[in-house]
Amino acid sequence: MTEAAFSPVGFLGPRIFGLPVNREILFANHKDIYKKRIEKRQRKLIVKVSFLKSFLKKGEQILLITTGYSPLNSVAQYLTGFVFVYLKRSLIVFTNYRILHIPTTADYDYKDSIAQVAYAGCHSIDMKGGTLVVQYERGGMKKKEKFTAIAGTERRKIRALLKKKIPLSGTKSQLAARIHLCPRCTRMLAKGSKKCDKCQLQFKRKLVAAIMSIFIPGGGYFYIRQYLLGVLNALSEIALLVFVGYLVNELRHQAPVQPLHLTVIPVFLYLKLAAVIHSGHFVNEFIPRGKKVQVRKA
């Protein structure tokens, strides 16, 4: 992909690959000093978010792009640990208006899912070690979300941005949450929506994910397009089912069964429960029912 010609001639243009950026911030370190290595990394990441042009508002500029992991609920996190975290890689884009959260593949490719965290709805945003902690407040109730494993190369820069250039207010309660955007028309989506009210784009459903997880080995993961995890889950469940069949046959012939062998039953139930919880968690990212959604912003 070739970058568009600078405009005006002789000066650094305000866009990179069609995206509006603030070059003085994007290519500088935490002390606002330009660094070639920072420019190289930011250009590499900005290629991954070239689709953002239709999502950005009038006057909005990209200030920084980094990598990290999407927020996890505690149940999903404890069930699989590092394996599930690996599947929650994301790109995090700071603009002068908001943070754009983009769940991605392991290679940081776009998955037709995007959410925003509006500064106007945040009570606070802090970098604590390698974790970006966002706190919202609505109706006197506070809620935190944590984006873990933020890339070390951007942590000091993010702290500087939060201190100097990010206008938090926390006054707009309707924005006091991470809100997903329709990948087709860019409209904000209501939590739990089965389709976009504006363009009627339909999304994957939790009930379907749960049913497929229960009745089909690996079915829930295949439904949410986590194919590798689906294959591994299916092979594990099938192996356990074969072993359960073996135990049943042994019991029918009154053969002694070792107590250790009976642990196969709770392990099988654990895999089913994990599949239901995980597939439901991914459905919360508003996965379109069809692939390769084209943006149609009015």
**Token pair in block for residue 17:** 């690959």
pLDDT(273) > 70: yes
Q: Domains in the chain, ordered, with CATH?
A: 15-181 (2.30.29.30), 206-283 (no CATH)
Percent above pLDDT 90 for the chain: 60
Q: What is the dihedral of CA 191, 181, 70, 60, to 10 degrees?
A: -140
3-state secondary structure (DSSP) of residue 162: helix
Task: Detail the DSSP E strand segments found in 148-225.
Answer: 179-181
pTM of the model: 0.86
**Token pair in block for residue 210:** 């749960």
pLDDT in the model for residue 257: 58
Over the chain, what is the mean pLDDT? 86
How many CA atoms lie less than 13 Å away from 177 in the CB half-sphere? 12
pLDDT in tens, 140-177: 888 999 999 999 999 999 999 998 878 777 778 888 89
